[in-house]
Copies of this chain bind each other. A is one copy, B any other.
C-alpha cells in the first residue's frame, strides 16, 4: 500500500490557531513531561488551567516529584486535549506545548486573585488549595505542536496559542 498522505507540517491558519486555543481553554488537566534526575523524560498528570490574565498555570504540591524536578530543570512539555472514550484516540485533536515552568510564592500579591480564578474552573481543588505545600506554577510557552488528527500537523508560536488581546 502506498502512502499518499500530505506533507507533515502544514501552514498555520486561523483554524489551527482557534483549535489550539480551544484545547487550551477547555483543558482542566494535562500530561506534564519533565526531566528526571538522570535526564530521562518523566510524564505525570497535573491540573491545568488558564488565569484571567491568560497565563497557563497548574496547582502542584511541592512534595511531588515533578515539582521537585521543575525547580531544578524548568524545561517541560504539556500534552492537552483528551480523546472521547469512543473512536480512535489518535483521530482527535491534541496539543503539545514546550514550556518553561516558574513557581509562584503563596506570598505573591497575585496569589489571592489567581486562587479565586482557579477555584472557579477547578472547584474540587478547594479540598487542598490551601495546604501549605500547594503552589501555582506558570508555564511560559516556547512553541507548540498541534495535531488535529491524522495528517493535520502544525507548529505554532506562543502568539498563535495565547489568548487574543
Chain A residues at the B interface, C-beta cutoff of 8 Å: 1-3, 8, 28-29, 31-36, 39-47, 63, 65, 75-79, 81-83, 87-91, 94, 96, 98, 122, 124-125, 127-128, 130-133, 145, 147, 150
Contact = CB atoms under 8 A, between A and B. Distances in A.
A143 B32 CA distance: 18
14 contacts: A1-B131, A33-B33, A33-B77, A35-B35, A39-B39, A40-B98, A41-B41, A43-B77, A44-B96, A45-B79, A45-B83, A45-B94, A65-B145, A88-B124
Contacts of A130: 1
Contact of A63 (B8, B83, B94): B8
Contact of A124 (B39, B91, B94, B96): B91
A52 to B, nearest CB: 21
Chain A interface, >50% SS class:
mixed
Given A31-B31, A33-B41, 9 more contacts: A35-B35, A40-B75, A41-B76, A43-B96, A45-B83, A45-B89, A47-B89, A65-B145, A88-B125
A132 B44 CA distance: 32
Contacts of A91: 124
Nearest to A2: B132
Contact of A79 (B3, B31, B125): B31
A42 B88 contact: no
Contact of A29 (B33, B78, B90, B132): B90
B90 A45 contact: yes
A35 B76 CA distance: 10
